């Protein structure tokens, strides 16, 4: 009897711990800026120095596109090629699963940089609908950079990245999408006092000095 009780209890402990770990909500920083603004580079440096987990919405979508047997692979490929924004349900589901997997693996890993999201009103409404009460958005890191600097950086990156969207035609579409769809989201968060703007046209180290000052202040 006691043996059976103990056995039953030991089976419940891992799932119990998992539920306890999810009581600590993910602490999220959204990272926004135009294509080529240096979001990925700066996120890598933040991870090294501050222990955040970096989740790139674009990378998660590209991984899902390449995953054998993915039901969304071709759909994602078509959207990316056209420089359009992938349906929100797909993106949020990938982000949610990635955060849950990380927190299940290590309950101390609850701080996340979400790079390249939310990109439009639909993204934001979807996030609020699915993640309301399940994650805390602390603030938005906005890497501000001129369109021409962004395009030149991406064209240079395209020589070695292998990304199908690092060409001038796709880039011009992506920048138009960013200006029409993402900038209004940044402005919305600005009204809530949640945006931390950084001049991203400078060198990597100069930009990161500003990032460090913000993160040290925010705690």
Residue 205, token pair as written in the block: 């180290």
58 is in an annotated binding site: no
Which stretches of the chain are assigned E, i.e. beta strand?
A: 27-33, 53-56, 111-115, 136-144, 195-199
Q: Any binding-site annotation on 147? A: no
Does the annotation flag 96 for ligand binding? no
Distance between CA atoms of residues 209 and 59, nearest Å:
25
51 a known binding residue? no
Chain centroid offset of residue 15 CA = 27
Q: Is 85 annotated as a binding residue?
A: yes
Known binding residue 7? Answer is: no
129 is in an annotated binding site: no
Max Cα separation, the chain?
A: 73
Residue 62 annotated as binding site: yes
Is 57 labelled a binding residue? no
Q: Is 67 assigned a ligand-binding role in the annotation?
A: no
Looking at the DSSP bridge assignments, the partners of residue 17 are: none
Q: DSSP letter string over 90-124?
A: HHHHHHHHHHHHHHHH-TT--EEEEET---SHHHH
Residue 13: CA count within 13 A, CB half-sphere: 7
Q: Does the annotation place 86 within a ligand binding site?
A: yes
Tokens of 127: 């996030």
The answer to whether the annotation marks 193 as part of a ligand binding site is: no
**Residue 41 labelled as part of a binding site:** yes
Residue 194: closest CA among 214, 212, 209? 214
Q: Is 196 annotated as a binding residue?
A: no
Check the annotation: does 118 bind a ligand: yes
Which residues sit in the known binding site for CMP?
123
Which residues sit in the known binding site for a ribonucleoside 5'-phosphate?
62, 84-86, 116-119, 163, 174
Which residues sit in the known binding site?
36-41, 62, 84-86, 116-119, 123, 157, 163, 174, 202
Which residues sit in the known binding site for ATP?
36-41, 157, 202
């Amino acid at each position: 009897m006691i043996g059976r009780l103990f056995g039953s209890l030991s089976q419940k402990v891992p799932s119990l711990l998992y539920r306890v770990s999810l009581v600590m909500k993910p602490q999220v920083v959204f990272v926004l800026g135009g294509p080529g603004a240096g979001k990925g580079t700066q996120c890598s440096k933040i991870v090294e120095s501050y222990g955040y987990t970096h989740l790139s919405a674009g990378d998660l979508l590209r991984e899902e596109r390449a995953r054998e047997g993915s039901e969304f692979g071709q759909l994602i490929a078509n959207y990316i090629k056209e420089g359009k924004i992938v349906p929100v349900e797909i993106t949020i589901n990938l982000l949610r699963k990635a955060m849950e997997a990380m927190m299940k693996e290590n309950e101390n890993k609850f701080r996340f940089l979400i790079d390249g999201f939310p990109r439009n009103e639909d993204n934001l409404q979807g996030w609020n609908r699915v993640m309301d009460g399940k994650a805390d958005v602390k603030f938005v890191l906005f890497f501000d950079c001129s369109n021409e600097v962004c395009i030149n950086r991406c064209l240079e990156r395209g020589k070695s990245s292998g990304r199908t969207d690092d060409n001038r035609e796709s880039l011009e579409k992506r920048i138009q999408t960013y200006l029409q769809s993402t900038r209004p989201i940044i402005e919305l968060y600005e009204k809530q006092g949640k945006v931390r703007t950084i001049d991203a046209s400078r060198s990597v180290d100069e930009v990161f000095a500003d990032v460090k000052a913000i993160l040290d202040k925010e705690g």
